[in-house]
Structure 1
Amino acid sequence: MEPLMGRLFLLALLALPATASSTASAQRGAGAEWPIYGGDPGHTRYSSLNQIDASNAATLEVAWRWSARNQGPNPAAASQTTPIFVKGRLYATAGMHRNVVAIDPATGETIWMYRFDERDRLAKAPRVNSGRGVSYWSDGKGDDRIYVVTPGYHLIALDADNGQPIRGFGLNGVVDLQKNLRVREGVSVDGSIGASSPAAVIGNVLVVGAALHVGMQPPSKVNTPGDIRGFDVRTGRLLWTFHTIPLPGEVGNDSWLEKSWAYTGNAASWAQISWDAQLGYVYLPTEAATGDYYGGHRPGNNLFSTSIVALDARTGKRVWHFQTIHHDIWDWDNTTAPILADLTIDGKPRRILAQLTKQGFVFVLDRVTGTPVWPIEERAVPKGDVPGEWYSPTQPFPTKPAPFERQGFSEDDLLDFTPEIRARAREIARQYRWGPLYTPPSLAGAADGTRGTLSLPASTGGANWEGGALDPETGYLYVPSVTAPSFLALLPGGKVSDMNYIAGGRGGQLAPGVPFVKPPWGRITAIDLTTGNHAWMVPNGDTPAFVAERLKLPPASIPNTGRASRAGLLVTRTLLFAGEGTNGSSNFWVLDKRTGARITRLDIPSGTQTGIPMTYMHDGRQYVVFATTAGGQASEIVAYSLPR
């Protein structure tokens, strides 16, 4: 295509129709509708609705319940879907086939259901789950579409009115995302790559990320790269590809020493992707490269793994990047959508991006330029002794905000309800190495007799895919997190993998389900992003009843530990809503968003909150909705509203 004509074509692709998804501001949150997984393109999870407030929240009752009982195999699997709400309908994913359902917002009745039979592709898929939701686009003239990325890695466009595939999109409504991917010798893309998160829709461009198998014990150092791609929202035509593992001649290629760029995989963006429609930028949170705990086969800093990358949505060209971990060997992927906001910071208006991380940091950057809002320092970190490993001598440390989680491990972190409990915790911990943040993994059978490295936060976080919520009125960022250690132990790959080392070994507990570190084990932290200071922190939920029983202590002697799970958060003009997460209870809390104080507790009738809450207004009533799961029972979507 001739260059000028090509640019004009791409500009037309980015032209923004008058739709809910494209006109929603990155910093103003949602209103009566909830058109995007995170509420708005900046994934603030904020709504300006205020019908439900502190004076009436205690009267909230279940308005309806929608069941996934007939949505394919294993309907009891935990659902992480968050419905969207546009033009009087809810749309969500359900079941292991990742069916798409349209739901009546007042009654919970199913309006239509779409199921795509992937056959063998489903069985091989690396992320067989119900997915986290769908995407929406409209031309503003009656062409309204729902998009879903399936477990087997297809991108499907459906008519929002009736659920029928859009025949002009791809092949009869389906784009095969396995096509036009980089292929590594000896690795089939069939079964190596998929996705769980919905596509980003910026103007007329669909931006699709990827997810691969868990990388603790990869069968090979050779794997499929997690490239990011842009597609025409109308036709499904591939527009561009961004290489998260750069090719020769591309920025970042020289950070992959010994030609490791040629075979290494992963470095995908499996979390949600945020965007700024005015700038025309999409923001990618990327994961570590193959494998999770051993990087000896990929020496160097490894751009663009574990980074934040801003791309021009028209072209897929890199605008800026910031690497949050050099040569990640802790599995501390960037797992949350970058949160975008327009705030006054230190007296100056700023357009910011806040990236929550597993290791407990919030990286706050100018989203136009990628420069830090507060200084970020490169500091020396410990070096390990695993044969063949390459260690980065420094890592970036934000000077503000302070970490929202405890970082690094020391004797001060040992559980100490009683001297006897502390001694037991010390006995477990002394079998491992420990040290400050970024103490690297070690061998399960090291020469010093240790069994690996204790790492805090865990490789699952800290923060994880649940993300946070941001209140644009106050500038408060609400972060759910878990305080728990990981045991980073390495064993030879042997017959399992051609890698020199893979994850192995085991950790320990004081008792089943009882961590040996001090609580709170789950928490919610409020950070004032206008100053960079913490505003408050509260435990997430209450101490599980089994803790006192298993530790053989009087319940009254145990402080509130919170639950070792991350809350699903929603903030409105008046309140902060918080479930207790996938390992939680049937409690759903309504909190004072300025102090964290509890206003009321709602009982979940069908298990625990597993999908992130959303809210909408329909026929004069505000609803709060989220997915739930109970052991052995079909997942549900539950809606609360005030009594009529």
Structure 2
Amino acid sequence: MKRIYLPLTFAAITVFGVAALRSSVEPPSSGDDWAEYLGGPDRSHYSTLTQIDTSNVSQLKMVWQYHTLDSGQVQCNPIVKNGVLYGMTATTQPFAIDAATGEKRWTWQDTTGLKGSVRSQSTSRGVVYWESGSDRRILFTRGSWLYAIDATTGKPVLSFGEQGRTSLKAGLGPTAADKFVISNTPGTVYGDLIIMPMRLSEGADAALGNIQAFNIRTGQLTWVFHTIPHPGEFGYDTWPKDTYKNTDVGAANNWSGMAIDRQRGIVFVPTGSAAFDFYGGNRLGQNLFANCLLALEAKTGKRLWHFQFVHHDILDRDAPAPPNLLTVTHNGKKIDAVAQATKQGYIFLFDRVTGKPLFPINEVPVPASDVEGEKAWPTQPIPTKPAPYARQTFSETDVNPLATNRQELVESLRRSRNEGPFTPLSKRGTIIYPGLDGGAEYGGAGVDPDGIMYLNSNEMAWLISLDKKMSNDQLAQLSPGQRVYTTTCASCHGAERKGNPASGFPSLVDIHKRRSRAYVDNIVSTGKGMMPAFAGLSNMQKQALLAFLFGEEKQEVGMTNSSESRKAAETQPKASYQISGYSKFLDKNGYPAMKQPWGTLNAINLNTGEYVWKTVLGNYPELNTKEPTGSESYGGPVVTAGGLVIIAGTKDTMLRVFARKTGKLLWQTKLPAASFATPCTYSVNGKQYIALACGGTKLGAPKGDSYVAFALP
């Protein structure tokens, strides 16, 4: 074992001069307004409001419900400014309502008339509010565009970019032209700049994951940071030569959002894995700056320091949420810190200025890959404190004792590779635990001024295998539509199109009985929910795919071994391996294959690294268990000075409020639909409200279309 404090670059810090600004400036918290994503630039989810507290929370009543008339999954954390609530619908259309009454102020419609203005089926976690004097703007993304509209009217700011929008592909280079590029998460503001997250394909067709800053007034690209370095840049030698040219490796993008210390001018950017996510034989090396926390100079994009959470990631271990900025006490000294929660169940805590870990981090040996051409990195960093908030091992004794097919699950476990949280994928199957959705997820963690972190965690194993893709000769034997399906859709929806609903991938069998061709065509072109758009498919390929899905393809399988078929096969993505599918490890009834609890809520003292409390979060009421079962959760908590932790996020459609000090459940209520989003809390005319989006859909929950608010009578 080797202790690490690398890789960091302190020379850049000295040049920047931030050491002189080490005064313990408390980051702003949410008060009457909830004016930024997750409550403020520190992403602390914290509110100073106290009207609703532990003594009266049980009296909460729903005071308004706003129907967007646009049902489906909503992950939006609404923001509130000057008594107006701004949110996003299921198909990424922003709106403004009165935060006290829920009455509509305006709803946005795309009136640019520009090419590419298609109906979006993606998800959005919210919008950005910016003002300068009387100029008040809302910035949001839709498709591959960043839009600016007037916060008062919802009308486009025509001086911004091209008639009110600018391309998220501006700083990604020519290879991004026909690739999938969107943003689910609101950007981060520094002065007149907005620094943007991006969601990309996770396959061989991924665009580059550069970090980009745009001018909010003009829409012009201001600076770019290369997460896959160019020649002469730090980290270039951690990839094969010329990887930055983006021929078959991309991503290393920030999709989960950022936090910013505006006093020091530092933006903290967690990055995800390089693509293809599960095989790195074509990108051997440490792969900086994938899977890192980057500290960048917000004005210029200059790197100040970085830390890599996963070296040469081959398990899709993206940093899943924005980091938290907080102040802790270590060795009797106040230290401004940055904390990052991970899918693996770890919390990494650093000095915000120097990047020095505040608890030791060990480089621990991890299993080698048995896949031809792959070289898993021999060690991975694991912090000594805090202890993981998700279980790290899955043995036969952990198999759900109530599962009616328990022995079958045990045998499946025995056949698979299962050597801990960094076990590489294998042809025989690998248990990934914590699963691909964590541990932590996009909702992230809340932090209070005492340095206590509040974090919901999933307890779900996944079982995935990795094998070689079909050869071009094999692909050429398939019909055109089946060929496109096999290379584009089968990893999620399965070779037989049966999908995996429990993992969020619907069956496509008999899709013609449920959806029109036009609907499916739009989904393939623009994406939906967490499904990416397949912009790289030609119109001929899309039409062949639709014919295959709708049972209209007349060309028989095995009759297409022509030079044209071979040429078409050779145009498919270049990754030489593919996964069996995004499959959770479930019993035959669709419940987690492991013993309970299946989800927890944790309070962790980051001054000491010790747990304050841990409790079960979520329930499967149909199982009629004596104690709650716990469940997966998406969306994070809100923490208040009134002593509350407020959280939804579970399929059982409940909003729950816990005591901040003890973890005791104080109140819960059923929502109109499940909320897979972080709530907000704010005050209008002296009255405190709690509001959240209820879109359902995820985890198979029924659809909803509303935002709701609660307050005291």
SS in 1 for 2:410: helix
Instruction: Work out which of the residue numbers 392, 417, 439 in structure 2 matches 1:433.
Output: 417
Indicate whether 1:561 and 2:629 are aligned. Answer: yes
Structure 2 Cα separation of the partners of residues 380 and 434 of structure 1: 15
Q: Which has the higher contact order (CA 8 A, sep 6+)?
A: 2
Which residue, 267, 270, 285 being the options, matches 1:300? 285
354 and 597 in structure 1: CA distance in 2 versus 1, 3 angstrom threshold = same
Task: Report the secondary structure of 2:250's partner residue.
Answer: coil
The equivalent position to 1:535 in structure 2, one of 592, 612, 631, is: 612
Partner of 2:528: none
2:321 and 2:441 in contact (8 A); partners too? yes
**1:374 Cα deviation from its structure 2 partner:** 0.9
Deviation at 1:417, TM superposition (A): 4.5
For residues 199-598 of structure 1, what are the structure 2 equivalents within 5 Å? 199-213=187-201, 215=202, 218=203, 221-263=204-246, 264-417=249-402, 422-443=406-427, 451-472=428-449, 474-494=450-470, 495=475, 496=487, 497-504=573-580, 508-542=585-619, 544-547=620-623, 555-556=625-626, 559-566=627-634, 568-581=636-649, 583-598=650-665
- Matched residues, percent identical? 36
Cα distance change, pair 120–328 in 1 and its aligned pair in 2 (3 A): farther
1:637 alignment counterpart = 707
Gaps of 5+ in 1: 1-10, 12-24, 70-74, 444-450, 549-554
Within 5 Å, give how 1:585-624 maps onto structure 2: 585-604=652-671, 606-624=672-690
Whether the 8 Å contact between 1:568 and 1:611 is mirrored in structure 2 is yes
Task: Indicate the residue corresponding to 1:17 in structure 2.
Answer: none
* Distance (Å, rounded) in 2 between the aligned partners of 1:109 and 1:136: 20
- State the distance in 2 between where 1:642 and 1:212 align: 43
Tell me, in whole angstroms, the C-alpha distance in 2 between the residues paired with 1:123 and 1:342: 44
Which 10-residue stretch deviates more, 482-491 or 47-56? Answer: 482-491
Give the TM-score of the pair, scaled to structure 1: 0.87
C-alpha distance 616-528 of structure 1, shift in aligned 2 (>3 A) = same
2:147 to 151, 156, 176: 156
- Gaps of at least 5 residues in structure 2 are 1-15, 17-24, 476-486, 488-572
Q: Distance in 2 between matches of 1:300 and 1:536?
A: 40
Structure richer in helix, relative to its length = 2
- With over 3 angstroms needed to count, the CA separation of the structure-2 counterparts of 1:260 and 1:409, relative to structure 1, is farther
Aligned length, in residue pairs: 582
**Inter-CA distance 245–592: structure 2 relative to 1 (3 Å threshold):** same
Q: 1:122 to 1:403 in 2, by over 3 A?
A: farther
Q: Assess if the C-alpha contact under 8 Å between 2:171 and 2:210 holds in 1.
A: no
CA distance in 2: counterparts of 1:55 and 1:111, whole angstroms? 34
Q: Find the aligned partners of 1:122 and 1:386 in 2 and give their Cα distance.
A: 43
Q: Deviations over 1:387-434 (max 9, x none)?
A: 01121111111011111111133234222358x765343123123111
Q: Which runs of 4+ in 1 moved over 6 A?
A: none
Cα distance in 2 between the residues matched to 1:642 and 1:469: 23
Over the aligned positions, Cα root-mean-square deviation in angstroms equals 2.1
Q: Is the 8 A contact 1:567 1:578 kept in 2?
A: no
1:18 aligns with: none
**Residue deviations 1:7-39, cap 9 Å, x none?**
xxxx9xxxxxxxxxxxxx763421111110110
SS at match of 2:174: coil
Pick closer, same or farther for the CA change 1:535–1:515 going to 2, 3 Å. same
Distance 2:53 2:584 in 1: 44
Q: CA deviation at 1:244?
A: 0.8
Gap change, CA 1:121 and 1:410, over 3 Å in 2 = farther
> Is the CA contact (8 Å cut-off) linking 1:301 and 1:326 kept in structure 2?
yes
The one-letter amino acid paired with 1:167 is L
Q: What corresponds to 2:95 in structure 1? A: 101
Relative distance call for 1:566 and 1:81 in structure 2 (3 A) is closer
Which residue identity does 2:290 align to in structure 1?
A: S
- Distance (Å, rounded) in 2 between the aligned partners of 1:388 and 1:31: 54
- Cα offset for 1:340? 0.4
User: Are residues 508 and 620 of structure 1, via their aligned partners in 2, closer, same or farther at CA, if it must alter by over 3 Å?
Assistant: closer
Distance 1:280 1:509 in 2: 46
The answer as to 2:82 corresponding to 1:87 is yes
Q: Following TM superposition, by how much is the alpha carbon of 1:547 offset from its aligned partner in structure 2, in angstroms?
A: 3.4
Query: 2:28·2:41 contact (CA, 8 Å) conserved in 1?
Result: no
- Inter-partner Cα distance in structure 1 for 2:305 and 2:76: 31
Partner of 1:565, secondary structure, is coil
Equivalent pair of 2:228/2:243 in contact (CA under 8 Å): no
Q: Take 2:409 and 2:612, find their aligned partners in 1: how far apart are those partners?
A: 31
Asked if 1 retains the 8 angstrom alpha-carbon contact of 2:446 and 2:454, the reply is: yes
How far apart are residue 511 of structure 1 and its match? 2.8
Aligned match of 1:22 = none
